[in-house]
Amino acid sequence: MTLPAKTLTAKIVADRDFIVAPLDRRVFGTFVEHLGRCVYGGIYEPGHATADENGFRGDVLALTRELGVTVVRYPGGNFLSGYDWEDGVGPKEDRPVRLDLAWASTETNQFGTNEFMLWANKAGVEPMFAVNLGTRGPAEARDFLEYCNHPGGTKFSDLRKSHGFEQPHNIKFWCLGNEMDGPWQTCAKTAREYGALARETAKVMRWISPDLELAACGSSQRAMPTYAKWEYEVLDECFEQVDFISLHAYFRNDGNDIAEFFGEIDNLKVYIDEIIAVSDAVAAKRRSKKRIMLSFDEWNVWYKAHRPEDLKKPGWPEAPPLLEELYNFEDALVVGGALLTLMNRADRVKAACLAQLVNVIGPIFTETGGPAWRQTIFHPIADCTRNGHGEILKLKVDSSTFTTKAHGEVPHLIACGVFNPQTGQVSLFALNRSTEDAMELDVDLRGLGEALKVGESQELYDPNLKAINSKDAPDAVSPKPNGTARISGCRFTATLKPQSWNVFTLMA
């Protein structure tokens, strides 16, 4: 490729003595909901050519492992607020078929708690479960936790054993409901109503398992009219009983304006800072040293598959195709930049779940009865999970900027550095948001040693921002080597193509 005449420059200083925090690898999570073809036709399809004895698609399992996700949220989502967990356990022939009001679908309940735990063990992921605080409450949450985590000798733990699961599942991370501020939610609540309900639910759950990690619902999105007031009032009710507040964010490009789309990433930083401020205000009111952590348990690009027919199909079908976003190259760049933003706040963002894993706004796409392939957004996520081990460096970044209408001046470069004290490896992630100009990157690695050498050096680039991966061209957008990376003493340099995602590892 011939580089444009104009070349941007960006400088970074990375020092071993300046870190944000150790990276909690639960930031590399995802989400499986009983919605569309995420479960049925996604992770679970008995009769598929790759299906195992449990009906789990082997090709999806392999791609899940390659993606490197660490934690998976289940079973919802909007589905959660009308879900009876008892429907999804026990002999499959005895499970009831229900109407799912959230997505106007018929739910067969052929996949439930124990199937998910079998799948999670095969995928090598930690479960993040959720309890229904829409149509149900503390009593049902108590029973569900007893079923999942109690060793035995009680009604629900012995029920689990009778279903063939002698050992408890020991699920530690639980979400207390989902988007309870949303009027679309089954049995939505006011902030005070929900906060009190979350407090009492958390209380009884902790009486069973004191070491649980519990997340209260934050606002469904930053644009909600009750935003921030909701978080304050919820935490004011349940501060002592919870560890996390949840955040949800979906990035849109409705105006087909790449500058504004890129600017959505910077809005994410503002969102994080605001929720930290609100939660710390609740702590200050109590004169408490406790800090509520952030769980971004739903986030992704989502705007194309957002028409009414993408959300619901007539006639109560089983597992209809819903929210099947076909991701293009620019979506991958935004997902990569957003993930770096989450990683750079490792001091407070301790968990995050890309919504969702497969078919439904997911990095993996399948054809029912056919193949599975990687969508464009798969690649930046896999790059981060593969190389994101250790401590987030507090980088000093000097970059040129561009102007957006909604977000003001924002830097061309988004970068993140991770130092692994166990191996001495430094991982650098860099997103050049200029669509016209290449960028000369110069990194001062002071305090990280002079004996480093370049390991992995690759880029995700396509001249066509609308390029996609498909069944017929599954690798059309995929990583390629970046041959420009050099290191001399404590200085690392590389050239970043316009509109490109880049990953470099420096080995001791």
Catalytic residues: 179, 298
**β-bridge mates for residue 506, sequence order:** 426, 454
User: Is the Cβ–Cβ distance between 418 and 393 less than 8 Å?
Assistant: yes
**Rounded Cα–Cα distance for residues 248 and 298 (Å):** 5
Provide φ and ψ at 380, rounded to 5°.
-65, -30
**Rounded Cα–Cα distance for residues 311 and 248 (Å):** 18
Which residues touch 237 (CB under 8 Å, ≥6 apart)? 191, 192, 194, 195, 196, 198, 199
User: Is the Cβ–Cβ distance between 250 and 303 less than 8 Å?
Assistant: yes
User: What kind and span of H or E run contains 264?
Assistant: helix 258-285
- DSSP for 31-91, written as a single string: E--SSTTSTBTTTB-TT-TTB-TT-BBHHHHHHHHHHT--EEEES-SGGGGG--GGGGSS-
Which residues touch 297 (CB under 8 Å, ≥6 apart)? 29, 31, 73, 128, 175, 215, 246, 247, 248, 351, 352, 353
User: Is the Cβ–Cβ distance between 238 and 195 less than 8 Å?
Assistant: yes
Nearest Cα residue to 126 out of 64, 70, 85, 78: 70
**Rounded Cα–Cα distance for residues 337 and 302 (Å):** 15
Provide φ and ψ at 322, rounded to 5°.
-130, 145
DSSP state of 25: G
Q: Which residue type does 65 have? A: R
Quote the Cα angle for 169-172-177, to 5°.
105
Quote the Cα angle for 132-133-138, to 5°.
95
User: Is the Cβ–Cβ distance between 235 and 245 less than 8 Å?
Assistant: yes
Provide the token pair at 368: 């029912």
Provide the token pair at 130: 């959720």
**β-bridge mates for residue 173, sequence order:** 128, 213
Query: 10 Å Cβ neighbour count for 31?
Result: 28
- DSSP for 277-341, written as a single string: HHHHHHHHHTT-----EEEEEEEEE--SS-SHHHH--TT--BS---S----BHHHHHHHHHHHHH
Provide the token pair at 229: 């007031």
